[in-house]
Amino acid sequence: MLNIGLSSGGMRYHAPPFTSSTSSTSLCLSTSSRSSSEIFLLTRYNTTCWLLGSSSYAGETVQAYSSCYVTSPNINNWLRTPYIERGDAERLHIEMTFTMRKCVRHNDPSSLQQCKETFNLYYYEAESDFANHQMPTWQPNVYSKIDTIAADTLYVQPRKVEVNNETKHVTIKRKGVYFAFQDTGACITLLSVRIFYVTCPNVTVRYAFFMETPTGPTVSSLVQKKGVCVGNAVEESNPTYLCRSDGSWDILMGSCKCLPGYQGINGTKCVKCPVGTYKWHASNELCLKCPKYSYANGEGAEECTCENRYYRHKDDDRSLPCTQPPSPPQKLTIRSVNTTSVTLSWWHPRSNGGRNDLTYRVECNKCDKNVKYIPKMKGFISTMVTLTGLIPSEEYVIQILAENGVSDVSKQKRGVNVTVVTEASGKTH
C-alpha cells in the first residue's frame, strides 16, 4: 500500500516510484491499510503460503500477510514486493512491522515439525520489471540476503500480541530492486512494509540554496552538493555542503552575497533596500541610510542621489555626504611686483564645500609659455604663488581659483582676480 512520506529531525524519507501495480509516485510501500485504500498484492510462492487477511494493529483493523505452518515440514514460503525503481537513491531502507508467536507456547508442541522465531530478508536488483511467478526463481542463492530477522518480542496469547519493528538498509546499484521475505517455519504476521530512502532536505544558508539530496551508498558516505545563489545574489566563493548518511547537512563551505541595492535577511534571501537607504557594493550587510545632502526615493538604490547644488566625485565613497565646490579665496593681495615677476597671497576660502581636498589654480590672461609658476600653476595647497618670466610694463589680470574634487563635476569656477602691472625695464628703487 501507498503511504505519505514522513519528515523527522531534519531528515526526509521517501519511497522510490513504483513501476508495477500502480502509477502513483507516493512515497511509501506498505501492506497496512491505515493510510490508503489500495494494497499492493505481493507475489507469493508455495502451496502453503503467506495469506492475505485482516489483523488488529494500533487499535485498527489492517490488511496483513501471515504465515504459520509450524506443524508442516520443510516450510519454504516466499513473499516478494513489486519492482521498485530507486530513482536517485543509492541506499534503500526497508522498515518492517510484524508480530511473531513464541514456539514453546504452541497449543500442541508435539505437533511441531519445525518452529522458528526468525524469517529471512532478501533483495534482487534488476534493470527492469521482469519478475513473474517463476522468475527470479525462489531460491536463496538467486537473491542477495540482507539479514535474518529475529523478533525482539514474542507473543504467547493471541490477545496479548506484541509488535516488532525492524529497519534494514541496502546499497542498490542497478535501476530497481525487488525485496523478498522467506518464512522457513515461523508463526509470523507482516503488518507493514515501508521502503524509503533518506535525503538531506532543501535548505538555504549563507544565501545559497542546496537542493534536497539523497544520501550516499553507505553509512559513512558523504555526498557533496553545490549550492545555487538565491535571487539577487552572486557567488562570493563556491558554496558546497556535505550530505551525511543520517540526512543531516555538515561542513558548509563558501557562500553567496547580495547584489548592490539588496540586503541580506537571515542568510536566506536578498531584498531591495528600502526607500531612503542604499547599498553600493555586493555584500550581506544591511542597507545604509542615505548620507547627508542625498536621497533615495525608490527601493533598491545602489547609491543615493545628491540634492540640488550638491555633488559627488566618481571616486568618492558612497557613504560620504554629498559636497559642494569651495567658495572663492579671500583677501587676495599683491605681496611684491617687479619688471618680470609678481608674488600674490590670499586667505583660504570661507567654505571648503565639506571636503578635505582643497587646492588652488592660477589663471593669467596674458601669460605665455615662458611664464613660470612657483610652486606650480595648479593643484597646489599653498596660499602664495609667484609668477616669473613676465614682460616689463605689462598689465596682467591674474585669477586665483579655489577647487576641490567636485569643482569639475559642478562646472562652477570659484575665484578672485587682481590686476597687476609690472614695472618698467631699467627702473631703479
Q: Average pLDDT, stretch 20-33?
A: 27
Q: Is the distance from CB of 29 to CB of 81 less than 8 angstroms?
A: yes
pLDDT of 231 above 50: yes
Share of the chain above pLDDT 70, in %: 86
pLDDT of 332 above 60: yes
d(C-alpha 261, C-alpha 265), whole Å: 13
Q: How confident is residue 134, by pLDDT bands cut at 50, 70 and 90?
A: confident
Q: Which residues pair with 262 in a beta bridge?
A: 272
- Is the pTM value of this prediction over 0.85? no
Torsion 96-99-103-108 (CA) sign: negative
pLDDT value, residue 160: 79
Q: Any residues with CB less than 8 A from the CB of 331 and at least 6 apart, and which?
A: 346, 347
DSSP 395-424: EEEEEEEEE-TTHHHHT--EEEEEEEEPPP
pLDDT value, residue 112: 64
Q: What is the CA radius of gyration of the chain?
A: 44
d(C-alpha 246, C-alpha 55), whole Å: 33
CB-CB neighbours of 357 under 10 Å: 16
> Cell numbers 514486493 label which residue?
81
What is the signed CA dihedral for 368, 371, 372, 376, rounded to 10 degrees?
Answer: -40
pLDDT value, residue 8: 25
What is the signed CA dihedral for 29, 64, 53, 67, rounded to 10 degrees?
Answer: 120
pLDDT of 76 above 50: yes
Instruction: Report which DSSP code applies to 151.
Output: -
pLDDT of 368 above 90: yes
Maximum Cα–Cα distance across the chain: 150
pLDDT of 337 above 70: yes
pLDDT value, residue 72: 79
Looking at per-residue pLDDT, the higher value among 69 and 182 belongs to 182
Looking at per-residue pLDDT, the higher value among 82 and 111 belongs to 82
Q: Which of 265, 387, 373 is nearest to 334 (CA)?
A: 387
DSSP 265-326: ETTTEEEEPPTTEE--SSBSSPPEEPPTTEE--SSS-SSPEEPTT-B--TTS-TTSPPB-PP
Q: Is the distance from CB of 290 to CB of 278 less than 8 angstroms?
A: yes
Q: Average pLDDT, stretch 252-270?
A: 97
Q: Which of 211, 229, 238, 227 is nearest to 270 (CA)?
A: 229
Domains of the chain: 43-196 (2.60.120.260), 200-306 (2.60.40.1770), 330-422 (2.60.40.10)
Q: Any residues with CB less than 8 A from the CB of 359 and at least 6 apart, and which?
A: 378, 379, 380, 381, 402, 403, 404
Q: Which residues pair with 253 in a beta bridge?
A: 240
CA distances from 26 to 6, 92, 168, 173, 363 (A): 11, 15, 21, 22, 85
pLDDT of 293 above 60: yes
Report the amino acid identity of residue 428.
T
Least confident of 5-14, 53-62, 313-322: 5-14
Grid coordinates representing 201? 532536505
Q: How confident is residue 18, by pLDDT bands cut at 50, 70 and 90?
A: very low
Q: Average pLDDT, stretch 59-85?
A: 87
d(C-alpha 21, C-alpha 324), whole Å: 80
- Residue 19 gets the label, from left (phi > 0), alpha (psi -120 to 50) or beta, of alpha
pLDDT value, residue 74: 84
pLDDT value, residue 14: 42
pLDDT value, residue 395: 96
Q: Average pLDDT, stretch 348-369?
A: 96
Grid coordinates representing 329? 579665496
Torsion 220-222-223-229 (CA) sign: positive
Instruction: Report which DSSP code applies to 366.
Output: S
d(C-alpha 186, C-alpha 159), whole Å: 19
pLDDT of 403 above 50: yes
Grid coordinates representing 92? 534503500
Report the amino acid identity of residue 177.
V
Share of the chain above pLDDT 90, in %: 74
pLDDT value, residue 371: 97
Looking at per-residue pLDDT, the higher value among 396 and 11 belongs to 396
Return mean pLDDT, the chain: 87
Q: Is the distance from CB of 296 to CB of 278 less than 8 angstroms?
A: yes
